[in-house]
Amino acid sequence: MGVADTGLSYSAFRGAEIREVTEALAALRITVFHDYPYLYDGSLAYEKQYLETYIQSENAFLFSVFDGENMVGATTCIPLAHETADVQEPFLQKGMDISRVFYFGESILLKNYRGLGLGNRFFEEREAHAASFPGVDTVCFCAVKRPADHPLKPADYQPLDAFWTRRGYVKAPDMVSYFEWKDRGEEVSTPKPMEYWFKKI
């Protein structure tokens, strides 16, 4: 069954429009990132604070998937120049012109809706949005790096590296950030290494 056969609907939101679906997007992030490899023990309060960065950027973009009234998938992007200082830091350290870069946030989908081609649609929508801005020539995202022997890694876990490579993304071997969140079972937040993937558009 392809995407066209599912009866799903799609909505795009920009900047302040994202506030309309903050609750749904926050709940979806908490649900999807609860699983490996993020193992995120999230809170609605933190999510609303995180999403405020996107709401405040008139050029931020959210593409979302609905099954009826329920948001079941979503993906976001934002000009890197509008991101928070901790996100910008590794780019500035490399001497990169952040005005030329769009940063891709989450790409999340409930399990029952995977395998329909929506992952490709998410990248297509974000890349098209980024390419609509003069001077933007690079898109990127980061992904958490977990040890190969992590005790909560499912036996059937398949990393997305091959998918990202097919989409034309290349991992930066010398660029890592550390973002903090509380893992399931942790009492406090701890820093997690995040690896970056880039593509020229």
User: What one-letter code names the amino acid at 159?
Assistant: P
Q: What is the CATH number of the domain that holds 131?
A: 3.40.630.30
How many domains in the chain? Answer: 1
Confidence of residue 6 (pLDDT cuts 50, 70, 90): low
Domain that holds residue 86: 3-200
* Lateral strand order in the sheet of 61-67: 9-14, 61-67, 70-79, 101-109, 138-144, 190-200, 170-181
Given a contact cutoff of 8 angstroms between Cβ atoms, the answer to whether 129 and 16 are in contact is: no
DSSP letter for 147, please.
-
CA distances from 175 to 63, 81, 94, 123, 159 (A): 27, 18, 9, 22, 19
Task: Give mean pLDDT, residues 170-179.
Answer: 93
pLDDT tens-digit readout, 24-75: 999 999 999 999 999 999 889 889 999 999 999 999 999 999 999 999 999 9
Q: How many CB atoms lie within 10 A of CB 175?
A: 18
Rounded Cα distance between 170 and 116, Å, is 24
CA dist 110 → 1, 65, 69, 124, 164 (Å) = 16, 10, 14, 19, 19
Q: pTM for the full model?
A: 0.93
**H/E run at residue 126:** helix 118-131
86-136 confidence digits (pLDDT tens): 999 999 999 999 999 999 999 999 999 999 999 999 999 999 999 999 999
Q: How confident is the model at residue 7 (pLDDT cuts 50, 70, 90)?
A: confident
Q: How far apart are CA 82 and CA 101, in angstroms?
A: 10
Q: Is the distance from CB of 136 to CB of 102 less than 8 angstroms?
A: yes
CA distances from 83 to 104, 105, 180 (A): 10, 10, 16
The number of beta carbons lying within 10 Å of the beta carbon of residue 79 is 20
CA 7 to chain centre: 24
